[in-house]
Amino acid sequence: MGAPVAFVVRRDAGLYGYERALARAGFGLVAGADEAGRGACAGPLVAASVILPPRQLVGLDDSKKLTPRMRERLYDVVTARSVAWAVVRVEPEECDALGMHVANVEALRRAVALLEVRPDFVLTDGFGVDGLGAPSLAMWKGDAVAASVAAASIVAKVTRDRIMTAYAADHPGYAFDVHKGYCTPDHQAELDARGPCAIHRMKWENVRRTIRLEQS
């Protein structure tokens, strides 16, 4: 989409370094996009996109470095103060149909498309995404180095954790409120004992194995 964008970010620029550099290059509205749940074998994949306000948000960080209480607090701050934010979910059956990589890219694309304000530039965590309607940059561990991606990671993580906690009541015995659908030893033990439920991703080998066990 047009000529490549040139901007320089110093190594010591901090979490807002990419947003500041892009603003100097003429891209004032920078959206960050990230997902939660890619590595889980149950529950939806959730993606979020955030355009942060000009004023920096205190305490913002990679969601994986924050306690659940800190994430909840920052979720409220991000969603209340951002220029725009959006969140989408890709259900387990669609994850199975698309495959996780395609589902991941599609989720990020949908989250950016749902923003009520069009971004000038998009930063995506991990993978390049086509069809965003703006120049973009894929960033390895973007949630740890770019503020807008960190904000998106918080929105996606908190949203998904809430979904999985609600599923714990619908599917008792799997402890979805504890492991959030990730493949922990306790989750696998329950899966082996009970078999999969409606929100498991049936294409995952550890889930397919339990189906074979039931049928044998």
- For 116-156, write each residue's pLDDT tens digit: 999 999 999 988 999 999 999 999 988 999 999 999 999 99
* R_g of the chain, CA atoms, integer Å: 18
Strand partners, 122: 31, 136
Give the pLDDT mean for 94-117: 97
Closest CA to 181 of 168, 193, 194, 192: 168
Dihedral (CA of 50, 56, 60, 61) sign: positive
Q: Which tokens go with 49?
A: 């996109």
Q: What is the pLDDT of residue 144?
A: 92
pLDDT band per the 50, 70, 90 thresholds, residue 165: very high
CA 110/CA 88 separation, integer angstroms: 7
Contact of 43 with 199, CB cutoff 8 Å:
yes
CA 116/CA 204 separation, integer angstroms: 35
Contact of 27 with 135, CB cutoff 8 Å:
yes
Q: Strands of 109-216 (E only): list them.
A: 121-125, 136-139
Residue 25: CA count within 13 A, CB half-sphere: 18
Q: What is the pLDDT of residue 5?
A: 62
Q: What is the pLDDT of residue 2?
A: 46
Give the pLDDT mean for 182-188: 96
Alpha-carbon dihedral of residues 139, 47, 106, 24, nearest 10 degrees?
Answer: -40
> Residue 184 above 90 pLDDT?
yes
Q: What is the pLDDT of residue 13?
A: 53
Q: Is 49 helix (H, G, I), strand (E, B) or coil?
A: strand
Q: Residue with structure tokens 């259900």?
A: 91
pLDDT digits (tens, 9 = 90+) for 47-95: 999 999 999 999 998 888 899 999 999 999 999 999 999 999 999 999 9
Contact of 163 with 177, CB cutoff 8 Å:
no
pLDDT digits (tens, 9 = 90+) for 13-33: 589 999 999 999 999 999 999
CB-count exposure of residue 181 (10 Å: 0-12, 13-18, 19+):
buried
Q: What is the pLDDT of residue 89?
A: 98
The Cβ of residue 167 has, within 10 Å, a number of other Cβ atoms equal to 21
pLDDT band per the 50, 70, 90 thresholds, residue 209: confident
Q: What is the pLDDT of residue 1?
A: 43
Closest CA to 23 of 146, 120, 144, 153: 120
Percent above pLDDT 90 for the chain:
84
Which one has a higher pLDDT value, 211 or 177? 177
Arithmetic mean of pLDDT over the chain: 92
